Amino acid sequence: MIVGVPRETFPGERRVAIVPAVLPTLAKAGLQVVLEAGAGVEAGYPDADYVAKGAKILPDRAEVFRAADIITQVLCYGSNDRTGKADLPLFHRDQVLVGFLRPLGSVETITEIAAKGVTSFSVELMPRTTRAQSMDALSSMATISGYKAVLIAADTLPKIFPMLTTAAGTITPARVLIIGCGVAGLQAIATARRLGAVVSAYDLRPAVKEQVQSLGGRFVELAIEAKDAQDERGYARAQGEDFYRRQRELLGKVVAESDVVITTAVIPGKTAPVLVTKEMVAGMAPGSVIVDLASERGGNCELTKAGEKISVNGITIIGWFNLASTVPYHASQMYARNLTAFLVHLVKDGKLQLNTADEIIRDTLLTQSGEVVNARLREFFKLPMLATKGGT
């Protein structure tokens, strides 16, 4: 089977879906790779490196789509709401598509992909199990984002992070608060600690306390308990407004004491909860920085503007997203390894294995034979039940 790697077209996207290092592994699985010319250049992977590992370079995007049985992208149509639709006419029936599709975003885009007869797999829906860990692209990209958020904050803050004892006296360390201790939050804690900051972290899931402490952070415990704080997939559950109101009241003091606040709380398929109000921002010292990693979903800070860096009464609020693309070399490397593990799982002896008894395939499969087949999506968007084969 042939794996096609088109160049990413989302504005500012610098990652590439497959890197040269994974080509031997794909070849062992019976997969050949064709690449659109220049697809890896912005991530630091020139065409010559791909050719040296056995890939074929094609000069035209349409040629890649024509030749490929499987198309691999970082931001597919769905997650690429700017330029992704231009790829729709290039797909052919029974072609396989693998990448970020933002399945809980718009049912229209997923339906359009289904109408092309494409068999699509969404890496966002990869189950968080031991078997699927090597394929978990969402966690890989969150790791990069958590790391980069701290660097952006450190670069913006008019203070240094570590404590220094100098001839000019002692400089106290910066105080960093991380709200949301998933993969991005834990990486932010680790990075801020490496830079010498005093780090506190809060999450509505008490189970993460030990992880925070193991990284050298202080876990902020509030006198409030979340109900069913974690779902079966390991993600935080949305709570009622009464919970969030009380949470904001208790967090206000901690936020006011922080030089940097990094927020990472997102609920799949829902608007991000507001955890930092404008009143809480007003209580922060001038020069303080907020980096809101939930900005694309509405933001955890009430004042965040998605994609922008703003200043409110001397407080800098950064709502940039797609941060993984700003570290494209290693983000691409991690993503390519995740995709390769999935492709090797999906293709056996040169043939596609659509065994829906396998939860990895069942959970990530979105569209097949012209239909949206993913049960979670059909329930989320309240689509009617699919007729079973045989008409029963």
Mean pLDDT by 10 residues, the chain (392 residues): 98 98 97 98 98 98 98 98 97 97 96 98 96 98 98 98 98 98 97 98 92 97 80 74 86 96 92 94 98 97 98 98 98 98 94 95 98 96 78 36
3-state SS record for 4-56 = EECCCCCCCCCCCCCCHHHHHHHHHCCCEEEEECCCCHHHCCCHHHHHHCCCE
* 279 and 335 housed in the same domain: no
Task: Check residue 88 and give its pLDDT.
Answer: 98
Residue 197: domain span: 144-321
* 203 and 313 housed in the same domain: yes
* 250 and 217 housed in the same domain: yes
Q: Is residue 134 part of a domain?
A: no
Which are the contacts of 293, defined by CB distance < 8 A and separation ≥ 6? Answer: 145, 146, 149, 180, 184, 262, 263, 264, 266, 300, 321, 323
Angle of helix 137-156 relative to helix 183-194, nearest 10 degrees? 40
Task: Check residue 391 and give its pLDDT.
Answer: 39
Q: Of 282, 306, 321, which one is at a domain's C-terminal end?
A: 321
Q: Is residue 80 part of a domain?
A: yes
Which are the contacts of 60, defined by CB distance < 8 A and separation ≥ 6? Answer: 36
Task: Check residue 392 and give its pLDDT.
Answer: 33
Please give the Cα distance from 239 to 209 (Å, whole number). 19
Task: Check residue 141 and give its pLDDT.
Answer: 98
* 64 and 170 housed in the same domain: no
Report residue 349: phi and psi, to 5°. 55, 40
CATH of residue 115's domain is 3.40.50.720
Task: Check residue 390 and give its pLDDT.
Answer: 43
Q: Of 281, 303, 321, which one is at a domain's C-terminal end?
A: 321
Q: Is residue 133 part of a domain?
A: no
Task: Check residue 205 and give its pLDDT.
Answer: 87
Task: Check residue 243 and give its pLDDT.
Answer: 86
Per the CB < 8 A criterion, the answer to whether 270 and 105 are in contact is no
Q: Indicate the number of domains in the chain.
A: 2
Residues annotated catalytic, as ranges: 128, 133, 136, 139, 235
Q: Is residue 385 part of a domain?
A: no
Task: Determine the distance from the C-alpha atom of residue 342 to the mean position of all C-alpha atoms in its chain, rounded to a whole number.
Answer: 17
* 215 and 81 housed in the same domain: no
Q: Is residue 391 part of a domain?
A: no
* 245 and 342 housed in the same domain: no
* 47 and 163 housed in the same domain: no
Please give the Cα distance from 263 to 283 (Å, whole number). 17
Q: Of 321, 344, 366, which one is at a domain's C-terminal end?
A: 321
Residue closest to 72 by CA, chosen among 29, 39, 115? 39
Q: Is residue 229 part of a domain?
A: yes
Q: Is residue 139 part of a domain?
A: no
Q: Is residue 137 part of a domain?
A: no
* 296 and 350 housed in the same domain: no
Task: Check residue 385 and give its pLDDT.
Answer: 86
Q: Count CB atoms within 10 A of the CB of residue 40.
A: 29
